[in-house]
Every structure is written in structure tokens, then in C-alpha cells.
Structure 1
Amino acid sequence: MNRRLVLPGLVLAALALAGCDSTTTGTANPVASNAPDTATQGSGSGNGAPKVSNPLNPAKLKADACSVLTSLQRSSLGVEDGTPRTTSAGTTCAWVYRDDETRSSRVDIAADPNTDGLAGIYDLYAKGGKDQYEYWEPTEVSGYPAVYAATKDFRAQGQCKLLVGVTDTQAVQVFAQIGNGPGATDPCPQTLKVAEAMVQTLKEG
């Protein structure tokens, strides 16, 4: 059944998942090294936010968000090639699930614009956000600190947001909206699978 999906409030800048059909063009800059840029290192402290013990290099994500899911991963996840988008939050990528003929099921990945990584997100939560978030569930993604969080809980309507700390100053937002199938009422497992694939790609450089 095709559902009309409404984006939940985001932790920071809206990703503009729907209504923006423009795509970015050009050639992404290659990643020179898998070693993290020293500019991305930080304290990782801030209202309980865990430190990232093995930082990843987010350059690939920032240069070309669609490159963080390989062809093999896309096949395994059941998604089409990604569509790049440019929003106020930066460069994002959206992948549509192939088995949904209504094309109402997709997942988006973007580098979160908060320069304090998960620490900044935890700060927002501690400064009154805990009274506004309808779900806030710390977790891990392939050994990296993460949190499921949104100001509105639309998980039963197929939406799930997961923020993953890849360095102490860089978090990655993975957002799924599933219109059909089992994920339409339980989307977070699919969000987690995509986040795990993204982390694996960044590990490999």
C-alpha cells in the first residue's frame, strides 16, 4: 500500500528528502588516503557522547555521498543507484528500493553539518531536547557510536533516523522512509543495514 510520508523534524538541518529533484553533476574528488584528516579530530566529550576510538575518513562521503554504497552493497540491500542531492545541509544521496513499484521506499545518507559530531547532537538533547524528542536510543553501528533520534516518532509509519559518529567531530545521518513491505512498520533494521554498509565503505577508503 502506498503511504503518504511526512518527514519528521531533524536534529539539525532538514535534508529535503522530497520535493528537490535537482541533482549535482561533475566528478567527485578522489580520496587520497584512508587516514583521517587531523582537522576532523576532536575531544568527543559533551553530555555523555561517546568518543570514536577508531576515526574514519569522511572525505569520500563529503565529496560524493553516493559513493559510500558500493555496487555489491546496493545489490545486497536491494536499492537502485543513488541520486545525489544538494541541500542546506550539504551533499546527500538517496537510494530507492527496487522492489517497491510505488517508489515510496528510499534511504538517504548525508554528513551531518554539526561540527561537533555526536557531542554536538548530545548537547542539543541535553539542553532541553530530551523534552522534545519522541525517541532517543543510543546504539552502535559496527563498533561506532550512534543514536536513533527524532523529534517525532514516525517509525510505525515507516520512517527511521540514525546518526553515526565516524569521528569525534563528524556524524553521518542515515534516514529511511519505507512505504511498503515489512519495513513500512519497522524501518530501523533497514536503516541499520545501510549504516553498516556505509561504515564498511569508509573503512576500506
Structure 2
Amino acid sequence: MNRRLVLPGLALVVLALAGCSSKTGGTANPAASSPDDTASSAAGGNSAPKVSSPLDPAKLKSDPCSVLSSSQRSTLGVEDGTPRSGEAGSTCAWVYTDDETRSSRVDIAADPNTDGLAGIYDLYAKGGTDQYEYWEPTEVSGYPGVYAATKDFRSKGQCKLLVGVTDTQAVQVFSQLGSGPGASDPCPQTLKVAEAMIQTLKEG
């Protein structure tokens, strides 16, 4: 059954988020092979990865709780989603069933930025490592994504992942794990939720 949650505003601030683990503050070097230099080069050139097989984001905007099916929720170990509306538009939050404190949850929200991941890369290009404490491009079931946040709270159970489902639509998946084995390394769990969302969107 749905349960109403009080969600921190931080979870839904979508325009200041993206990618994982930026460990150096150097400038981009086209000849460099490190992931951090590659990320900086891509952002500085405003070259966010393109989405080769766009998905219909209608569910994300009209009924975000529908992007995780009953079987997916069971596999992920989360309750039915709780819908919510705010400045970022329609969002949904799912509480993890094995956390008696009810402090572990995952949120999904369609990014209102109409530039998709390109808009996120623009923000990174402007602020770089001075603004983002972690930034790591990735792929989610073949779709471009980036872990990122202005503050690195991964050791406290928080991970933010943005995924491009079209060239003009990104989706934020935000996990906050208060306890359990994933609390000290939340990004793998965040990725699992994002992969389930992509599967649902593919199925229409």
C-alpha cells in the first residue's frame, strides 16, 4: 500500500546533479586515458553522449510510480511507490522493506531541463570540480548516464544518477540508504533501480 513520505528538497534538486567520483581537479587533456580527464573533456566540449534509441518518457511525467513494476519492486525489495508533485514536476519514492527505520528509499524524477544530459554537462562545464564533488559518466542498460552531486554523501548512503532517455530528457534516480549493506556504497543499488526503470520504459 502507498505510504506518504516527507522527502527532503535536496533529493529533487535535479539541475545541479550528475556523474560519479571525480578524483582530480586537472584540466581536460584529449590525450589522457584516465576517466576523470575523459569526463572533463566531454563536459568542457559540451559533448554529452547522444541517445541512440530514445524511449518514451510519458510514464515518467504522468505517473512516475508506474516505472517500477510489481515484480521489479519485489526484486529490488521496495514497497509500492508514493507519488509526489513539486517544482521538479511529478516524482515517486519507494521505501525499502527491510529497513525498519524507514530511512532507506529511492526516488525517481524526470528532469525538467529540456536539454537532457547536455544541460547537465553544461552545468558541469561551468562549475567543474570546483562545484561537483563527484562526477562519473556511465551507461545504464545502453543509455548514457552520469553519477554526480555538488556534495559527496555516498559514504552516508546517498547516490545520485542521471540517465538520458532521449536527447532532451534526463531522469534522476536518487538513493538514500539509511542502513543495510548498501549504506556505505549506495551507487550499485541506484544503478539497479535505474536499470529496472529503463526496462519498464522499453516495454512501453
Q: Same fold (TM over 0.5)?
A: yes
1:161-189 Cα offsets, whole Å, 9 max, x none, are 00000000000000000000111111001
Deviation at 1:131, TM superposition (A): 1.5
1:79 alignment counterpart = 78
Q: Which amino acid in the other structure matches residue 141 of structure 1?
A: V
For 1:64 and 1:200, how far apart are their aligned partners in 2?
A: 16
Within a 5 Å distance, the mapping from 1:16-165 to structure 2 comes to 47-165=46-164
For 1:84 and 1:8, how far apart are their aligned partners in 2?
A: 14
Q: As a proportion of its length, which structure holds more helix?
A: 2
Pick closer, same or farther for the CA change 1:195–1:9 going to 2, 3 Å.
Answer: closer
Q: Which amino acid in the other structure matches residue 12 of structure 1?
A: L
Deviation at 1:130, TM superposition (A): 3.3
Deviation at 1:128, TM superposition (A): 2.1
Query: Is the 1:56–1:167 contact (alpha carbons within 8 Å) kept by the matching residues of 2?
Result: yes
Deviation at 1:6, TM superposition (A): 9.6
Q: Which amino acid in the other structure matches residue 83 of structure 2?
A: P
For 2:151 and 2:202, how far apart are their aligned partners in 1?
A: 32
SS at match of 2:93: strand
Q: Which runs of 5+ in 2 are unaligned?
A: 1-7, 18-44
The question of 1:169 aligning with 2:168 is answered: yes
1:117-173 Cα offsets, whole Å, 9 max, x none, are 000100110012432100000000000000000000000000000000000000000
For 2:49 and 2:171, how far apart are their aligned partners in 1?
A: 15
Query: Is the 2:14–2:172 contact (alpha carbons within 8 Å) kept by the matching residues of 1?
Result: no
Pick closer, same or farther for the CA change 1:13–1:96 going to 2, 3 Å.
Answer: same
Query: Is the 1:85–1:93 contact (alpha carbons within 8 Å) kept by the matching residues of 2?
Result: yes
SS at match of 1:66: helix
Q: Percent identity?
A: 84
Query: Is the 2:106–2:190 contact (alpha carbons within 8 Å) kept by the matching residues of 1?
Result: yes
Pick closer, same or farther for the CA change 1:87–1:199 going to 2, 3 Å.
Answer: same
For 1:134 and 1:74, how far apart are their aligned partners in 2?
A: 31
For 2:61 and 2:16, how far apart are their aligned partners in 1?
A: 16
Q: Which amino acid in the other structure matches residue 156 of structure 1?
A: S
Q: Which runs of 5+ in 1 are unaligned?
A: 15-45
